Amino acid sequence: MCLALPALVTELLADDMALVELGGVTKEISMALVEGVAVGDYVIVHVGFALSRLDPAEAEKTLALFAELAQA
């Protein structure tokens, strides 16, 4: 039950709710725990709530680190 995945926010709804897309599936989830999320952001969804926003720049950095190892 701890498994949670990054999902794309596609639409903000009333009452702190939003639509997210995950592998082609659309789900309605709560944004009550995160601030300042916009359409196009990725959020980590857990038991129907967004827990945090994904930072694309940090994701790139981590991937660059993996790529560096590949060349080493």
Partner 1 sequence: MKYIDEFRDGRLARNIAAAIAAEVRPERRYALMEFCGGHTHAISRYGIEDLLPGNVQMIHGPGCPVCVLPIGRVDNAIWLARQPGVILCTYGDLLRVPGSARQSLLKVKAAGADVRMVYSAADSLTIARDNPDRQVVFFAIGFETTTPPTAVVIKQAKAWGLSNYSVFCNHVLTPAAIANILESPEVRELGQVPLDGFIGPAHVSTVIGSRPYEYFALEYQKPVVIAGFEPLDVLQAILMLVRQLNEGRFEVENEFSRAVTRDGNLKAQGLVAEVFELRRVFEWRGLGLVPYSALAIKEPFAAWDAERRFAIETASVPDNRACECGAILRGLKRPAECRLFGSVCTPENPIGSCMVSAEGACAAYWTYGRFRQAG
Site for partner 1, rule CB under 8 A: 1-6, 8, 22-23, 29-30, 32-35, 42, 44, 46-49, 51-56, 58-59, 61-63, 65-67, 69-70, 72
Q: How far is the CB of 38 from partner 1 (least distance, A)?
A: 16
Q: Which is nearer to partner 1, 13 or 67 (CB)?
A: 67
In the 3-class helix/strand/coil scheme, how is 1-62 assigned residue by residue?
CCCCEEEEEEEECCCCEEEEEECCEEEEEECCCCCCCCCCCEEEEECCEEEEECCHHHHHHH
CB of 63 to partner 1, least distance (A): 6
Q: How far is the CB of 24 from partner 1 (least distance, A)?
A: 9
Report the alpha-carbon distance of residue 63 to residue 21 in Å, rounded.
23
